Structure 1
Amino acid sequence: MSDVSRLAGVSKMTVSRVLADPELVSEATRTRVMKAIDQLGYVPDRIAGSLSSRRTNFVTAILPTLTNANFADTAQGLAGALRAADYQLLIGYTMYSLKEEELIVRAMLARRPDAIVIAGTVHTKAANEMLLRAGIPIVEIWDVPEHPIDHAVGFSNYEVGRLAARHLISLGHRRIAALGSRIDGDAMDLRGEARLQGFAAVLREAGIADDLVIREGSAPVSYDHGARTLATLLQRAPDVEAVFAVSDISAVGALMECHRRGIKVPEALSLIGFGDFDIARQCVPAISTIRVDAAMIGRKTGELLLSILERDNASAPITQSRIDIGFDLLIRETTAPREPG
């Protein structure tokens, strides 16, 4: 800052004002200071500034993975919403490990973010306590628990599973299965598990056995997971009529396995996924799925955070928010009514 002030011919206080409150400085002085900043490549020390302002202007997002297009879309939507107010996004990913999530929460809080966005609603006891005591806005995303830590933006994964089951039953199928991952030590896809539980509940309500709800392999699911788990299913129940995969990624693998085995979809087997991934639309046949607007989750989360962080009366109490964005059934080419006989 001293170098900038000397080059611009102003005091360090003026440089600080240009950076913090530019409207308090004349246009000519602002132009001179900004030119010096550009010439010197000066980067303001946000951490030092935050010691007095108590703001770092970054928000932490903790996600299970960045290889999943839906989580990437959520991060992009969140970053876009925050960027309008000059907040930056710092991302950590857990690979579905609650222990890793706890370590990331601890590390991020040490860097004093202005808010934390975290995928899921189940955390270790230590992580839960750190989040409760953080003293900053916390938004749990990709679910809408009845009692979030602070705020929540998402949808009901349990109801996603129920919708998938109702759709397959409405087509006349009775031998119905589902494919998901198992809870393997610390690695768990709790949102996928909630979909399986909702799916199985509807089967039982309809008088259909839920013994073909298969949990195999570790999270995250993959194309290989879908192929392997469908193979396990066919070995157990070669007469299966319909399948729900907890992710389109797994559904694509299952569809490819059907092609390899000469099983016609949807004539011999109906298949539905979740997520509305690009690849599901491009498959032949195109995969029926349940769509969630992942980018909207990010945008709504960002808008919620800005309404909290940028509010005029900082001492006013904040009402807990639960924003349910819902989901849609997209019927494409892999589900069809059961053929008689």
Structure 2
Amino acid sequence: MVVSTAFPDVPRSKPAPSAAHVPTASAPRMSDVAAAAGVSLVTVSRCINHPGQVAPETLALVRAAVERLGYVPNLTAGSLASNRSRIVAAIVPTIANSVFSEMVEALTSTLSAGGYQLLLGQSFYRAEDEERLVDAFLGRRVDGLVLTGTPRSEHLTARLRRNGLPVVQTWELPPRPIDMAVGFSNYDTGVAAGRYLAAKGRRRVGFLGSSEDRAAQRLAGLRAALEQAGLPPPEVETLPPPVLVDKAGPSFAAMWERAAGLDAIFCNNDLLAAGVLFECRRRGIRVPDDLAVVGFGDLPIGIAAYPALSTIRIGLRGMGEMAGKLLLARFAGKDTLPALTDIGFELVARDSA
């Protein structure tokens, strides 16, 4: 320390302690929890990592001590010892569309019950964002990965196959999954919508949806069903994803004005279908007398809409739960798991069609 000699008679004040010398309260350790609960370190570790293996009374004592002391387990140390991070990553196109958020909520609950936490990323339907997210998650040594559909990059698909990480693809049933898949046939949902509308006597059908792959499969199924029924191909209006309720009105208006005789429309999701219903009210188009409307997803907005929305129901929560259960089973060492799990779908007929 340099001391000034300009004023030798002025008493010098005591220097303030450096940051390194400022006393701080030490974070509670596992040994503190063990002492507070009156159990061994091994028991505390087991309560944190394998609570199902501990007597309820002991677990309650340890949890009370953890709460009282504010102890936070060192998950990094545990993952280094066990080669497990106890983290699963999921990638969805967007959480702006509630069909994805409902599935993620069920996935999170299922994994949490098994002692795993979820990291979530949004790809915004872009292949490069999806690949960057996978790189980031692999770099953090996640134990498993949940994808929405098939990666848009074949290079990424090949990488994940070589990596050997447990992977569950959702929202579709690819002919050759990376590891496991939980979903349904998007093509068949389009077929079901087309057959239903044809059976209701509709003769000029439109499709309103996005330009992404799963929407294209639904459109292909709709087109096949209409052709089989001897009807003209669907009038199509596509938008860049994500497609939400605010985009439906202008797109439907453009289709309505150019497609003479349009009497039915199949929408790629219930949000779009609700937007079509709003636009019909504005224009005085009677639903279902003038136009039958079918949505996709069976979201709450469809039930609340007027008239209530006919839709394709898929098990959103069931899909998330099954994806989580398959990963937990794989983590538990089970190798004989189904490559494809078809959750099916149901056409729900309501007042709009």
* Same structural fold, with TM-score higher than 0.5 when normalized by the shorter chain: yes
Moved more, 36-45 or 239-248: 36-45
Q: 2:189 aligns with which of 132, 152, 160?
A: 160
Query: Residue 5 in 1 paired to residue 34 in 2?
Result: no
1:2–1:12 CA contact under 8 A, matched in 2: no
| Corresponding letter in the other structure for 1:136 | L
RMSD between superposed Cα atoms in Å:
2.6
Query: Residue 79 in 1 paired to residue 102 in 2?
Result: no
Per the alignment, in what secondary structure is the counterpart of residue 296 of structure 2? coil
| Corresponding letter in the other structure for 1:330 | V
Residue 332 of structure 1 corresponds to which residue in structure 2? 350
| Corresponding letter in the other structure for 1:94 | S
- How far 1:29 moved relative to its partner? 8.7
Query: Structure 1 8/273 Cα, relative in aligned 2: closer, same or farther at 3 Å?
Result: closer
Residue 269 of structure 1 corresponds to which residue in structure 2? 291
Residue 240 of structure 1 corresponds to which residue in structure 2? 262
Query: Residue 295 in 1 paired to residue 324 in 2?
Result: no
Distance in 2 separating the partners of 1:24 and 1:155 = 37
Distance in 2 separating the partners of 1:194 and 1:29 = 54
Query: Residue 220 in 1 paired to residue 242 in 2?
Result: yes
- How far 1:123 moved relative to its partner? 2.5
1:275–1:289 CA contact under 8 A, matched in 2: yes
Moved more, 17-26 or 77-86: 17-26
Query: Residue 120 in 1 paired to residue 146 in 2?
Result: no
- How far 1:304 moved relative to its partner? 1.4
Query: Structure 1 31/331 Cα, relative in aligned 2: closer, same or farther at 3 Å?
Result: closer
2:326–2:337 CA contact under 8 A, matched in 1: no
Query: Structure 1 145/57 Cα, relative in aligned 2: closer, same or farther at 3 Å?
Result: same
Query: Structure 1 23/194 Cα, relative in aligned 2: closer, same or farther at 3 Å?
Result: closer
Residue 130 of structure 2 corresponds to which residue in structure 1? 101
Residue 135 of structure 1 corresponds to which residue in structure 2? 164
Structure 2 unmatched runs, 5+:
1-26
Per the alignment, in what secondary structure is the counterpart of residue 163 of structure 2? coil
| Corresponding letter in the other structure for 1:50 | S
Q: Percent identity?
A: 40
Query: Structure 1 213/11 Cα, relative in aligned 2: closer, same or farther at 3 Å?
Result: same
Distance in 2 separating the partners of 1:225 and 1:299 = 31
Query: Residue 146 in 1 paired to residue 164 in 2?
Result: no
1:73–1:295 CA contact under 8 A, matched in 2: yes
| Corresponding letter in the other structure for 1:79 | T
- How far 1:318 moved relative to its partner? 3.9
- How far 1:79 moved relative to its partner? 1.6
- How far 1:33 moved relative to its partner? 6.1
TM-score for the superposition, normalised by structure 1: 0.86
Query: Structure 1 323/174 Cα, relative in aligned 2: closer, same or farther at 3 Å?
Result: same
**Aligned ranges 1:8-87 → 2 under 5 Å:** 8-9=34-35, 16=45, 19-20=48-49, 37-87=66-116
Residue 338 of structure 1 corresponds to which residue in structure 2? none
- How far 1:321 moved relative to its partner? 2.0
Structure 1 unmatched runs, 5+:
183-188, 336-341
Query: Residue 230 in 1 paired to residue 248 in 2?
Result: no
Query: Structure 1 44/171 Cα, relative in aligned 2: closer, same or farther at 3 Å?
Result: same
Query: Structure 1 22/211 Cα, relative in aligned 2: closer, same or farther at 3 Å?
Result: closer
Q: Which of the pair has more CA radius of gyration?
A: 2
Distance in 1 separating the partners of 2:83 and 2:226 = 52
2:130–2:151 CA contact under 8 A, matched in 1: no
Distance in 2 separating the partners of 1:62 and 1:116 = 8
**Dislocated runs of 4+, deviation >3 Å:** 1-4, 6-40, 317-320
Residue 208 of structure 2 corresponds to which residue in structure 1? 179
Per the alignment, in what secondary structure is the counterpart of residue 90 of structure 2? strand
TM-score for the superposition, normalised by structure 2: 0.83
Residue 219 of structure 2 corresponds to which residue in structure 1? 196
Distance in 1 separating the partners of 2:245 and 2:209 = 12
1:98–1:124 CA contact under 8 A, matched in 2: yes
1:102–1:126 CA contact under 8 A, matched in 2: no
- How far 1:27 moved relative to its partner? 9.6
Distance in 1 separating the partners of 2:256 and 2:68 = 67
